[in-house]
Amino acid sequence: MEFKSGFISIVGRPNAGKSTLINQIVKQKIAIVSEKAQTTRDAIIGVRTEEDYQMIFIDTPGIHKPKHELGERMNSASYAHFKGVDIIYYIIDGSQPFGKGDEFVIEKLKKVKLPVFLVINKADLMEKDEMLLKIATFSDFEFTEIIPISALQDQNVDRLLDVTLDYLEEGVMYYPKDQVSAYPEQFIYAEIIREKILKLTEEEIPHSVAVAIEKIVKKDGSTIISAVIFVDRPSQKGMIIGKQGQMIKKIGILAREELETIMGGKVYLETYVRVEKNWRNRAKMLNQLGYIEIQYES
């Protein structure tokens, strides 16, 4: 039997559903999901292995107009994955109107010499006439394939994979067949905590928070995780902690419940909040948090 393999970048604007799609494809939660824009800050790798293929998907940060150094690095992480892959999925939220942000991404994609699929997400929210109009909106760009899906409802995702397989060549298995992600446990734990903060907080908090795991201790079947939550200002620290510590307690409970489900054992979570003024524009701080500056050719 011929075995195919290849790398697929998932790119697009914020909140298009990239993370939901990669979670659906690998049938496991490897990327955090939130209604807040710019949730994904790193390129996240997911692996789907079947009898006759292995597809490695790269979920990239949403391309946006950056307001700080962190935003610049997030965009760079996306642009860097316009190359070195076999296929690009350009995913859009079909329920949203075409805008300047879409024009900007398409101009970037015009320079790409790879198969580019237009993946129209949230097709379950659209009527047939709406879908035809949406496809016509993108007629100036000759996409290799145009495939409507609903990532959340798992509609047409299998067809997307079937079509993708047609464009892949015979190759090797890059990851063990039971591996679905390629990130260290510290990254996953930090992202789960950050997801709970996004879920429970509003205003400027979601965009000004970072999480770092300082220590993991495994003892007697239990795991003790020490995490630091970084914020920009003292007022944000107060919001994260909440009145009489209620907010930080809620965040901890939600994060611990999910961590215990993933790890299959007891988890003790210690969280601390630290103010690092203007951390999103400080190169040293961004490097420490893992938001490495990526060089790419435009």
Same domain? 202 vs 76 = no
Q: Which residues contact 41 (CB under 8 A, 6 or more apart)?
A: 61, 70, 74, 291
Domain end marker among 170, 205, 221: 170
CA distances to 223, 234, 236, 240, 248 from 274, in Å: 23, 9, 10, 10, 13
Q: What is the pLDDT of residue 275?
A: 95
Residue range 103-156, pLDDT digits in tens:
888 888 988 999 999 999 999 999 999 999 999 988 888 899 999 999 999 999
Q: In CATH, what number is assigned to the domain containing residue 206? A: 3.30.300.20
Residues 114 and 60 in one domain: yes
Q: What is the pLDDT of residue 71?
A: 79
In this structure, is residue 294 part of a structural domain?
Answer: no
pLDDT, residue 104, reads: 87
In the chain, how many domains are there?
A: 2
Helix-helix angle 246-263:234-241, to 10 degrees: 70
Whether residue 275 is contained in a domain is answered as: yes
Single-letter code of the amino acid located at 231: V
| 97 is a domain residue | yes
Claim to verify: residue 164 and residue 190 sit in the same structural domain: no
Domain presence at residue 281? yes
Query: From the first residue on, what is the mean pLDDT of each consecutive set of 10 residues in the chain (298 residues)?
Result: 94 90 92 67 87 94 78 79 91 91 88 94 93 89 95 96 97 93 85 91 78 92 94 93 95 95 92 93 86 64
Q: Which of 132, 147, 170 finishes a domain? A: 170
What is the model's pLDDT at position 41?
67
The CATH number of residue 67's host domain is 3.40.50.300
Residue 60 is classified by DSSP as: -
Closest among 205, 296, 190, 189 to 247, alpha carbons compared = 205
Query: Which two structure tokens, joined as six digits, stand for 204?
Result: 């400027």
Q: What pLDDT is attached to residue 294?
A: 66
**Among all chains, which residue has been given the structure tokens 């298009």?**
16
> What is the model's pLDDT at position 124?
94
Residue 40 sits in the same domain as residue 86: yes
Q: In terms of residue numbers, what domain contains 189?
A: 185-288
pLDDT of residue 207: 76
In the prediction, which pLDDT does 149 show? 97
Q: Percent of the chain at pLDDT above 70?
A: 94
Please report whether residue 232 resides in a domain: yes
User: For residues 119 and 116, what is the distance between their CA atoms, to the nearest angstrom?
Assistant: 9
Position 43 scores a pLDDT of 76
Residues annotated within the binding site are 12-19, 59-63, 121-124
* Binding site residue list for GTP: 12-19, 59-63, 121-124
Distance, in Å, from the CA atom of 154 to the CA atom of 97, rounded to the nearest integer, reads 23
Q: What gap in Å lies between CA 107 and CA 49, rounded to an integer?
A: 33
The answer as to whether 298 is a domain residue is no
In a domain, 177, yes or no: no
- State residue 39's pLDDT score: 63
DSSP type of residue 200: H
What is the gyration radius of the CA atoms in the chain, in angstroms?
A: 20
Helix, strand, coil percentages (3-state) for the chain, rounded to 5, are 40, 25, 35
Residue that terminates a domain, selected from 170, 200, 222:
170
